[in-house]
């Protein structure tokens, strides 16, 4: 199948607009062909008021497509039922891809208001399709005859996936239970929307303003400059402002000598969504958990976790807990050793042996400097944003033959955007990549990869994707460029791994693009392995002023300290994974006190009091508004895969081995969900993954 330019592809999928458009349609970019470079969204012309009429038209078009399938009087078959369903709803999907991307990266009160209108509308629309008895009868008729239709493996998998999706969506329920399910789905969608909106508001509301320069003791100059710039932007010139955005929060916890201020900012972080104000998420969490549990029971599952895990690699809660338990014991032991070291250091300073969670980053940094003579600020000059970006592009070129060329004329949704055309080894167009790096009021926290257009096929030709990587990195300060911490550098590699997965996708059917939630982190997490590989570091980590590569002495220090603080990092990750599973394996949610429940469960596992889980329920966005409910364990599950997969490269003696890279692309990155993740992995590795590399990489076995 040949590839197609995105401009031509855009023309093939547009757009349901008729020759007699209403005036509001003629002014709306969603009702016109996009004459942008490679058909990217015309961000410069899209306004909040364009979304609702476009969504309403998308719903109308999809309803007509579904009605045509359901009312077709010819015999149900793959082409007129399964393929027709797989191709339906493209206009609506196109609109929502843009809306969701903007609402996460560049939201506004107007967009949030539109979201509140669209969420119940879309919930009802999706349910009307999923619970359409005539449509399901057609799908079931094809499914019941699947062995007699001469389908190939991909067609069979698409049929099975669609059929099971309808069953999981309640297509087999009686009318009363369908009505109940619709009500639950709408409630869940609105609660998730409110959770995310509250968290964004609470995150932006917290400000730590410092007026006394003595309170800045211990903070590096670059951190002070960034805080001064933040203060100036808020009309507080002459002061310093720290926020809960990670580039501000983490350095403060690492370096600020003022313990009471460390406590204040960390408490602000822990109390998000839990302040008894209009942004409080505690009641929302309780209602969400209850509604999810009711939905699972209605669909015949023991708990919501059983419902979610039934369609992913883990399959059961028991399998998830089995992995978590295996890693928890050695991680907790290692964290206790780390705590003892830090307490001893604190006592030697004459400040007592009392130790709190807001002390961990501060004394971990002191131990790192004392034990390994390594200060994070010694590394930052070698990891400017531009240097790291070019390192990632170089790695993608060495492994997969990709090239990244700036697209200066592409529309942007924010001035900070960087846009690149991605071409394949043979020079053909592969996709477009948007990059968005720094915190701002309209952007949610964290880092993620999204898609403004996923890869598809139209009339036998490939429609290339438009991917986006969004982060909240340390911004430039003074006359220096943005200098990334090791953690930010790893995050950049991670999210670009997701982007490469999307860009190199080559899947014929839309319904087979997605992979299991606990498999999707493999392509991202494997990229992290190259971040600090010595033979790669020398090629991309260069001083932003001199251009000199990172010296061997620093690389040695990085290698020696690579497993430092891994007990803490593993424990906080696993603690969050546990509480996600714990609350979603509840059978009875009556009278649930989420704080008491969390403390009880973590206490039963002997969590060190000085370590908080990475997320607490009121601000656990991944599971309450981010699609990871009963799935946060995926990060450690996928780390088993990525550590073992990187061994495949290391075993060749060349971490850039072209044959291994070609196999990873062919068997993992290009395949989407055309087979189960376990099968795809075995096709690449020739065996099931070994957990030993994970434990070794985290320093949990000696």
In this structure, what is the dihedral angle of CA atoms 572, 573, 579, 584, given to the nearest 10 degrees?
Answer: 170
Q: Is the CATH number 1.10.1370.40 carried by domain 3-130+132-172? A: yes
The token duo for 677 is 């993740």
Q: Which pLDDT does position 18 carry in this prediction? A: 43
Please compute the mean of the pLDDT values over residues 621-638 and round it to a whole number: 95
Segment 447-495, tens digit of pLDDT: 999 999 999 999 999 999 999 999 999 999 888 999 999 999 999 999 9
The distance from CA 298 to its chain's CA centroid, rounded to whole angstroms, is: 29
Q: Is the pLDDT score of 4 beyond 80?
A: no
Q: Which pLDDT does position 22 carry in this prediction? A: 62
Residue 547 sits at φ, ψ, to 5 deg, of 80, 5
Please compute the mean of the pLDDT values over residues 118-133 and round it to a whole number: 96
Q: Is the pLDDT score of 337 beyond 80?
A: yes
Q: Which pLDDT does position 35 carry in this prediction? A: 95
Q: Is the pLDDT score of 642 beyond 70?
A: yes
Segment 506-539, tens digit of pLDDT: 999 999 999 999 999 999 999 999 999 999 999 9
Please compute the mean of the pLDDT values over residues 564-568 and round it to a whole number: 95
Q: Which pLDDT does position 24 carry in this prediction? A: 63
Write the DSSP assignment of 302-369 as a string of letters. SSHHHHHHTTSSS-SHHHHHHHHHHHHHHHHHHHHHHHHHHHHHHHHTTS-S---GGGHHHHHHHHHH
What is the rounded end-to-end Cα distance, in angstroms, of the chain?
Answer: 50
Parallel, antiparallel or unpaired: strands 240-242 and 208-210: antiparallel
Q: Is the pLDDT score of 137 beyond 50?
A: yes
Whole-angstrom distance, CA of residue 92 vs CA of residue 107: 20
Which distant-in-sequence residues (6+ apart) come within 8 Å of 658 by Cβ? 399
pLDDT band for position 232 (50/70/90)? Answer: very high
Q: Which pLDDT does position 11 carry in this prediction? A: 34
Q: What are the residue ranges spanned by the domains of the chain?
A: 3-130+132-172, 206-270, 380-560
CB atoms within 10 A of CB 454: 21
Q: Is the pLDDT score of 15 beyond 60?
A: no
Q: Which pLDDT does position 538 carry in this prediction? A: 93
Write the DSSP assignment of 517-551 as a string of letters. TTTTTHHHHHHHHHHT-HHHHHHH-B-TTT-PBPP
- What is the residue-averaged pLDDT of the chain? 94
Q: What residues are labeled active site?
A: 495
Segment 266-281, tens digit of pLDDT: 999 999 999 999 999 9
Residue 242 sits at φ, ψ, to 5 deg, of -120, 140
pLDDT band for position 352 (50/70/90)? Answer: confident
3-130+132-172 and 380-560 share one fold? yes
Segment 26-54, tens digit of pLDDT: 799 999 999 999 999 999 999 999 999 99
Q: Which pLDDT does position 21 carry in this prediction? A: 57
The token duo for 157 is 């998998």
The distance from CA 252 to its chain's CA centroid, rounded to whole angstroms, is: 25
Whole-angstrom distance, CA of residue 70 vs CA of residue 664: 40
Q: Which CATH architecture has domain 380-560?
A: Orthogonal Bundle (1.10)
pLDDT band for position 200 (50/70/90)? Answer: very high
pLDDT band for position 12 (50/70/90)? Answer: very low
pTM here is 0.93
Q: Which pLDDT does position 364 carry in this prediction? A: 96
Segment 278-301, tens digit of pLDDT: 999 999 999 999 999 999 999 999
Segment 417-453, tens digit of pLDDT: 999 999 999 999 999 999 999 999 999 999 999 999 9
Please compute the mean of the pLDDT values over residues 332-354 and round it to a whole number: 93
Please compute the mean of the pLDDT values over residues 367-390 and round it to a whole number: 95
Percent of the chain's residues with pLDDT above 70: 96
């Amino acid at each position: 199948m040949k590839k197609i330019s995105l401009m031509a592809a855009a023309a093939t999928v547009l757009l349901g607009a008729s020759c007699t458009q209403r005036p509001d349609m003629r002014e709306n970019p969603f009702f016109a062909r996009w004459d942008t470079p490679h058909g990217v969204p015309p961000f410069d012309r899209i306004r909040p008021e364009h979304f609702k009429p476009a969504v309403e038209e998308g719903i109308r078009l999809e309803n007509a497509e579904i009605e045509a399938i359901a009312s077709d009087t010819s015999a149900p078959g793959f082409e007129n039922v399964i393929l027709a369903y797989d191709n339906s709803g493209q206009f609506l999907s196109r609109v929502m891809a843009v809306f969701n991307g903007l609402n996460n990266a560049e939201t506004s009160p107007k967009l949030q208001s539109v979201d509140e209108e669209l969420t119940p509308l879309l919930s009802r629309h999706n349910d009307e399709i999923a619970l359409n008895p005539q449509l399901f009868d057609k799908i079931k008729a094809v499914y019941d005859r699947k062995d007699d239709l001469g389908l190939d493996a991909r067609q069979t998998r698409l049929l099975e996936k669609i059929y099971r999706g309808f069953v999981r969506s309640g297509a087999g329920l009686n009318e009363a239970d369908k009505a109940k399910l619709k009500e639950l789905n709408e409630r869940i969608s609105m609660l998730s929307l409110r959770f995310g909106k509250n968290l964004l508001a609470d995150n932006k509301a917290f400000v730590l303003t410092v007026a006394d320069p003595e309170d800045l003791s211990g903070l590096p100059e670059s951190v002070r400059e960034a805080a001064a710039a933040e203060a100036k932007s808020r009309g507080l010139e002459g002061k310093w402002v720290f926020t809960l955005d990670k580039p501000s929060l983490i350095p403060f916890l690492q370096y600020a000598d003022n313990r009471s201020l460390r406590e204040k900012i960390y408490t602000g972080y822990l109390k998000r969504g839990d302040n008894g104000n209009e942004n409080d998420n505690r009641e929302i969490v309780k209602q969400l958990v209850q509604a999810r549990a009711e939905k699972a029971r209605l669909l015949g599952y023991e708990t919501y976790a059983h419902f979610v895990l039934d369609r992913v690699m883990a399959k059961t809660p028991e399998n998830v807990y089995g992995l978590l338990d295996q890693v928890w014991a050695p991680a907790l032991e290692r964290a206790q050793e780390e705590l003892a070291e830090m307490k001893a250091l604190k006592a030697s300073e004459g400040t007592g042996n009392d130790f709190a969670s807001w002390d961990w980053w501060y004394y971990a940094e002191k131990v790192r400097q004392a034990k390994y003579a390594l200060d994070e600020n010694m590394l930052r000059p070698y990891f400017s944003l531009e240097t790291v970006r070019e390192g990632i592009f170089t790695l993608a070129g060495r492994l997969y033959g990709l090239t990244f060329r700036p697209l200066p004329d592409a529309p942007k949704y924010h001035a900070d955007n960087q846009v690149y055309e991605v071409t394949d080894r043979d020079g053909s167009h592969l996709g477009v990549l948007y990059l968005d790096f720094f915190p701002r009021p309209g952007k949610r926290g964290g880092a993620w990869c999204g898609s403004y257009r996923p890869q598809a096929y139209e009339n036998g030709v490939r429609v290339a994707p438009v991917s986006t990587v969004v982060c909240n990195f340390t911004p430039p300060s003074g006359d220096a460029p943005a200098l990334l911490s090791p953690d930010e550098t790893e995050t950049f590699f991670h999210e670009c791994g997701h982007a490469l997965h999307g860009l190199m996708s080559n899947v014929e059917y839309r319904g087979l693009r997605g992979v299991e939630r606990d498999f999707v982190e493999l392509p991202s997490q494997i990229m992290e392995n190259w971040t600090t590989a010595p033979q790669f570091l020398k090629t991309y980590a260069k001083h932003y002023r001199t251009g000199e590569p990172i010296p061997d002495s620093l690389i040695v220090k990085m290698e020696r300290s690579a497993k430092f603080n891994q007990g803490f990092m593993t424990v906080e990750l696993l603690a969050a994974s546990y509480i996600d599973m714990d609350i979603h394996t509840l059978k009875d949610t009556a009278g649930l006190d989420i704080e008491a429940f969390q403390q009880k469960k973590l206490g039963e596992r002997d969590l060190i009091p000085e370590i908080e889980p990475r997320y607490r329920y009121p601000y656990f966005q991944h599971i309450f508004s981010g699609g990871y409910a009963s799935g946060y364990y995926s990060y450690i599950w996928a780390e088993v895969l990525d550590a073992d997969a990187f061994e495949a490269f290391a075993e060749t003696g060349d971490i850039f081995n072209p044959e291994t890279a070609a196999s990873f692309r062919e068997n993992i990155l290009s395949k989407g969900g055309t087979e189960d993740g376990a099968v795809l992995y075995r096709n690449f590795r020739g065996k099931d993954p070994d957990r030993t590399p994970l434990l070794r990489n985290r320093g949990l076995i000696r």
